[in-house]
Amino acid sequence: MLSIIVELSKAVRCCRQDEVFCEGVTLNQFVILDAVSRGRKLNMASLHDVLAVDKSTTTRLATPLITRGLVVREKAAHDSRAAVLRLTKNGERVHGEVWQCLLSFLRSIEGQLPEGERAAVFDGIRTFLGALRKASLMRCGAGAGSCGCAG
């Protein structure tokens, strides 16, 4: 079991928080671009939930997108203390290019799986991830994160 978890961790390194995936964008940054593109605007509080990370991490992930001019941070209309993110034209372009890169990557993965076994593989992975989450929560208790778990 440990060797599977270690190999899985190695295999998904392209999806790690600080690893560039496509177009100079990390997978988490793409999740931000995608979430903003769906609603045209997204408040930072909602983004914490989308990413399942704390405020400082959300800000750290969004800042490079702002610096690159892919998103703009604006004051929320309903509360001047709150911030919302909006895609720029360049952000829309990069979002589309990363989507294409991501789709190509996902098709490549799917193409490596035996056609008749794909559904079973995906179901097995979902089951394994659910068990991993539950075991992590039980190990960490209610204060997930305090023991180094992602929760």
Residue showing tokens 């709150």: 82
pLDDT classification of 150: cutoffs 50, 70, 90: very low
User: Which pLDDT value is given to residue 18?
Assistant: 64
d(CA 132, CA 127): 9
pLDDT, tens digit (0-9, with 9 covering 90-100), for 56-96: 888 888 999 999 999 999 887 777 777 889 999 999 999 99
pLDDT, tens digit (0-9, with 9 covering 90-100), for 24-66: 898 889 999 999 998 878 888 788 888 877 788 888 889 999 9
* Structure tokens belonging to residue 18: 């600080």
pLDDT, tens digit (0-9, with 9 covering 90-100), for 104-144: 988 999 999 999 999 999 999 999 989 988 888 887 765 44
Q: Which residue, 19, 32, 43, is CA-closest to 65?
A: 32
Whether 23 shows a pLDDT value over 70: the answer reads yes
Q: Do 64 and 29 touch, CB atoms closer than 8 A?
A: yes
pTM: 0.75
Burial state string for 2-33 with b = 16 or more CB within 10 A and e = fewer than 16: eeeeeeeeeeeeeeeeeeebbbebbbbbbbbb
CB atoms within 10 A of CB 115: 8
Q: What one-letter code names the amino acid at 6?
A: V
The CATH-assigned architecture of domain 2-114 is: Orthogonal Bundle (1.10)
Q: Is 49 helix (H, G, I), strand (E, B) or coil?
A: helix
Please report, for the chain, the start and end positions of each structural domain, with discontinuous segments joined by +. 2-114
